[in-house]
Amino acid sequence: MTATGLAARPAAPRRPAGPRRLAGTGTLLRLALRRDRVMIPVWVAVTALMVLSMPNTLNTLYGTAAERAQLRAQMAANSSLRALVGPVFDDSLGALTAWRVGVYAGALAAVTGLLVVVRHTRDEEESGRQELLSSGMVGRRAPLTAALLAAAVANTALAVLIAAGLAGRGAAGAVAFGLAVGGTGMVFATLAAVAAQLTESARLARGLTAGVLGAAFVLRAAGDSATNDGSSPLTWLSPLGWLENVRPFAGERWWVLLLPAAATTVQAGLAYGLAGRRDLGMSFLPTRPGPAEGRLAGAGALAWRLQRGSVLGWSTGFLLAGVVYGGMTDGAVDLVGDNERARQIFERMGGHAGLTDAFLSSMAGMLGLVASLYVVSSVLRLHGEETSGRAEPVLACAVGRLRWAAGHLAIAFGGTVWLMLLAAAGLSLGYGERPGALVAACLVQVPAAWVIGGAAVLLYGVLPRLTTAAWGVACGVLLLGWVGPSLNLPQTVLDLSPYGHLPKLPGGELTWGPVLALTAIAAALVTAGLAGLRRRDVVA
């Protein structure tokens, strides 16, 4: 009691100083980089190789100034191809490289950023590991800071590789291109940081950010289809549109780089503000409570409940991609025209003569390559369920390991067939002809995707610590399929990919030998992986 007879008011608790809120950031950053020592280098290498291989490819296709000027004029008149890859601002090899791969390099950088940030924020909270780490000398905002720094390391490495590799085409343009791609990656990394604060599920955080990326691509495509100079308001609403409007190697617009810088700063500040106003493990958009009584009939129904959102997203993407690729068939044929080298590349990808058939075959092959990413992500859901601790209570019931795994594998391998059927439907809608031939062209890609999925099952079942290496296998196959034919790699190298052994449809001859052999290989890999899963310990 004080002299006046009143109790002394307790002092207000002191808020921790700013540096204390970031305590442990360096340790968490090293941990994040160690955990992503495979994923980050693979994604950065694939994106950088895609960019750096393009000048030589374009020089082979359009070796003279007249040919490049003709390409620019043809693109100005071809709205469907502008929607796919954007407008051409100059006919130098550097500018054509930025035109041909800029949007896709930015999209890959965005995917890398969102995966890294969600993995080291919401994924850690969802698994319970963040609670353990936060019980030590770790500041409140240290995990978010470490995740953003890990994404910054990945995007900085990519920007440096692009700038250094293209410096011979013009130092200013190379730096502008590298900064534009890296800046796009950081825009979506910080957006993922915001989504991780708003949502209670890592899957939903990834899905929301990926949805915004898809919307950005659609806005840019709609704007570029309408105009030939990137001036459409729709283009300026998209971060991918900002990337192309930097105009590397075509009179660089350095001020446009302020847009991704401002977006990154604002979104990072918003993520930090949200992180300081919620409890660990909580969110501003909590998940809805489930029904009072369970309605899942078994392990297969649980697997479908967990994966139905991703299946819906992939299905929408494949259908729309098929429509776009089918609709641009005639325009692509007109664009190639009399360019014999471009014709040879399409026919090499398609595997037979006839430019229209070769183009449709190569588009079906590209969608088949992307399907390998779906099957790997779906198979690795098993690994995520196990490492997060959710698989253990399921397996503690009357559910065997093989039955539990079978539900997820049915979605992974059956979903591949479904996606390729949707791709065929989209190609038929866009092209307007030959639906039966296009269905065959898409379904013939399935066994090769199954082989990649089988490799993921084998790694998960036998070598669970190396499960994420399945992404390296998928990305390597993707790189061979996309870049290999344009680099004129030997057929022995292209045959390292299972897709190199498939019959090329439409137009080619359907040979069942390679299809059945690849199916048998996939079945053997899955069998070996499940046998390993039965024998090893489950992560507790």
- Mean pLDDT, to the nearest integer, of 463-481? 84
Instruction: Supply the mean pLDDT for the chain.
Output: 83
Q: Are 415 and 375 in contact (CB under 8 A)?
A: yes
Comparing C-alpha atoms, which of 268, 318, 309, 18 is closest to residue 140? 18
Establish whether the linkage from the previous residue to 514 is cis, with ω within 30° of 0.
Answer: no
Structure tokens at 373: 């990413």
- What is the structure's pLDDT at 4? 43
Comparing C-alpha atoms, which of 18, 280, 32 is closest to residue 149? 32
Other Cβ atoms within 10 Å of 311 Cβ, number:
18
Query: Distance between CA 489 and CA 480 in Å, rounded?
Result: 9
Does 18 score more than 60 pLDDT?
A: no
pLDDT in tens, 69-115: 888 887 777 777 787 788 889 889 999 999 988 998 999 999 999 98
Record the pTM. Answer: 0.80
Residue with tokens 């729309």: 320
Question: What's the full length of the chain, in residues?
Answer: 540
Does 14 score more than 60 pLDDT?
A: no
Query: Distance between CA 452 and CA 40 in Å, rounded?
Result: 20
* Backbone angles phi and psi of 199, in degrees to 5: -105, 160
Does 173 score more than 90 pLDDT?
A: yes
What proportion of the chain, given as a percentage, has pLDDT over 90?
32
Structure tokens at 513: 């030998």
Q: Tell me how far the alpha carbon of residue 412 is from its chain's centroid.
A: 17
- What is the structure's pLDDT at 530? 93
Q: Are 244 and 87 in contact (CB under 8 A)?
A: yes
Structure tokens at 538: 């489950």
Structure tokens at 201: 């599920």
Query: Distance between CA 442 and CA 361 in Å, rounded?
Result: 8
DSSP 8-state code for residue 75 = H
Structure tokens at 128: 């319970």
Does 414 score more than 80 pLDDT?
A: yes
